[in-house]
């Protein structure tokens, strides 16, 4: 079985150069030797796990370093192999990623502290190299695939953590196929009866949507005489996310999305005109995420149209964005330096949270709120874009824009109307900050802000002992 898996892995990685395949084979042999005589809870040789993790990443055509790290991700934690040996055999990049994936010695730490400390280490080091998070996600997926052998008291918390932390992390870095499987497996262990019932509802609606999609496809293919469209398909949110959205009252038909792919971003606007001429647009449902960037790698237009009195949600994208949907972070590793890529995907939240969190548990609580919650787009009067977590207010906006302005803020205009600093902002609001010539920071602001950056900046002023209004 192991030999078959090794052969299958090399065949799966046919996109690598011959030199890279030699390095991959070297890593396979190194991992197999390190884990010799070890077995998993399934009774299988331990080497099957790193091979499976590597196979998961090969589905995304992962780069060589990620594949090697998948093979070696447990050797320092579970064997006598040291990080210096990894560095000597495979280089400093691989050693750094393996270090990021290696848990601390547990020592006297309580279970919750230990888990939080390892999560903080993982995310902090992923800010330097996003591939740490990528390999960890593939590791989690294979562990979820083999979770059935665990006792029920182990399954539930593991599945819950998968749904609350690892699935949003997968979405954040564009590993959508991996996220779908994580959510399906996680939901099935968390609540098997509800999972089964909802999948039945979903399968029934999929047949309806498929017929609507075919009607849509037939009409636009007839109209697209200049062949601007290169591909059309449809997608749905991951299962647990979809279940929660429906539970909140969202209409199932609007949660499925049709993805129309064009050659260039300019072609997207032409195709938008074609779609709106063929189908009735739903008012106030158009969003331009090409001109107004919400995500560094997902540039598209969104609209909703009616067909047979049913609403279809349509995304129009170029081929580069389609590539990101399919390959996630690996579609960008070749174009971006890993440091800038990591910052683009995870933002500055981790740095800010680390400065204000008193311990690892507080770090995990804050980062889960900030990094994975929904976002809104807010503008300056000059139409500069500020991305904020949902429920952020004027104070959060001001500190995201310019802390020196925020520290002197007296009031703001939101959509040209005077508002207090505590006003909660909505998606697409336009905010204008008005200032005084002195510090106006109010310690009460700490009770209203949502972002760690705002908390950090306010606390810096407070701790410097400057003139803060007292209440």
78 is a catalytic site residue: yes
Q: 214-248 in b/e burial notation, b at 16+ Cβ within 10 A?
A: eebbeebeeebeeebbeebebebbbbbbbbeebee
Tokens of 24: 């991959």
Q: How far apart are CA 391 and CA 127, in angstroms?
A: 25
CA angle 458/461/465 to nearest 5° reads: 135
Q: How far apart are CA 9 and CA 138, in angstroms?
A: 15
Q: Which of 44, 59, 61, 78 is catalytic?
A: 78
Query: Nearest to residue 81, comparing CAs of 7, 17, 89, 55?
Result: 89
Burial class (CB in 10 A: 0-12, 13-18, 19+), 192: exposed
Relative to beta strand 257-262, strand 310-318 is parallel
18 is a catalytic site residue: no
Q: Which of 29, 77, 211, 402 is catalytic?
A: 77
Q: How far apart are CA 389 and CA 363, in angstroms?
A: 17
Which are the catalytic amino acids? 77-78
């Amino acid at each position: 079985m192991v030999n078959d898996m090794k052969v299958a892995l090399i065949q799966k990685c046919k996109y690598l150069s011959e030199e890279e395949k030699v390095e991959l084979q070297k890593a396979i042999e190194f991992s197999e030797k390190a884990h010799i005589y070890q077995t998993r809870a399934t009774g299988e040789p331990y080497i099957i796990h790193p091979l499976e993790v590597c196979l998961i990443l090969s589905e995304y055509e992962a780069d060589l370093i990620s594949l090697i790290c998948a093979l070696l991700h447990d050797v320092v934690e579970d064997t006598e192999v040291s990080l210096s040996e990894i560095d000597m055999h495979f280089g400093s990049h691989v050693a750094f990623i393996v270090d990021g994936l290696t848990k601390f010695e547990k020592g006297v730490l309580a279970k919750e502290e230990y888990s939080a400390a390892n999560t903080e280490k993982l995310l902090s080091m992923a800010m330097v190299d996003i591939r740490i998070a990528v390999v960890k996600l593939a590791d989690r997926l294979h562990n979820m695939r083999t979770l059935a052998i665990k006792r029920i008291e182990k399954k539930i918390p593991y599945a819950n953590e998968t749904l609350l932390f690892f699935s949003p992390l997968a979405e954040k870095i564009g590993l959508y196929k991996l996220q779908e499987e994580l959510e399906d497996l996680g939901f099935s262990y968390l609540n098997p009866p509800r999972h089964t019932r909802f999948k039945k509802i979903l399968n029934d609606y999929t047949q309806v949507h498929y017929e609507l999609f075919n009607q849509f496809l037939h009409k636009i293919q007839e109209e697209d005489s200049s062949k601007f469209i290169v591909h059309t398909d449809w997608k749905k949110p991951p299962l647990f996310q979809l279940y929660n959205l429906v539970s909140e009252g969202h209409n199932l038909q609007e949660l499925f999305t049709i993805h129309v792919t064009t050659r260039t971003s300019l072609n997207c606007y032409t195709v938008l005109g074609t779609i709106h001429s063929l189908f009735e647009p739903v008012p106030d449902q158009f969003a331009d995420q090409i001109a107004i960037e919400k995500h560094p790698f997902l540039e598209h237009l969104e609209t909703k149209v009616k067909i047979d009195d049913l609403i279809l949600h349509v995304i129009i994208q170029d081929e580069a964005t389609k590539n990101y949907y399919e390959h996630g972070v690996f579609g960008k590793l070749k174009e971006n330096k890993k440091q800038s890529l990591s910052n683009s995907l995870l933002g500055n939240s981790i740095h800010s949270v680390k400065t204000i969190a008193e311990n690892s548990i507080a770090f995990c609580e804050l980062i889960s709120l900030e990094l994975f919650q929904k976002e809104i787009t807010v503008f300056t009067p000059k139409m500069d874009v500020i991305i904020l977590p949902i429920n952020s207010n004027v104070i959060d906006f001001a500190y995201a824009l310019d802390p020196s302005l925020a520290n002197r803020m007296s009031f703001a205009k939101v959509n040209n109307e005077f508002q207090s600093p505590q006003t909660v902002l909505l998606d697409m609001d336009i905010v204008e900050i008005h200032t005084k010539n002195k510090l106006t920071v109010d310690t009460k602001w700490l009770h209203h802000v949502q972002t760690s950056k705002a908390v950090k900046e306010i606390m810096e002023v407070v701790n410097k002992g400057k003139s803060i209004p007292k209440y």
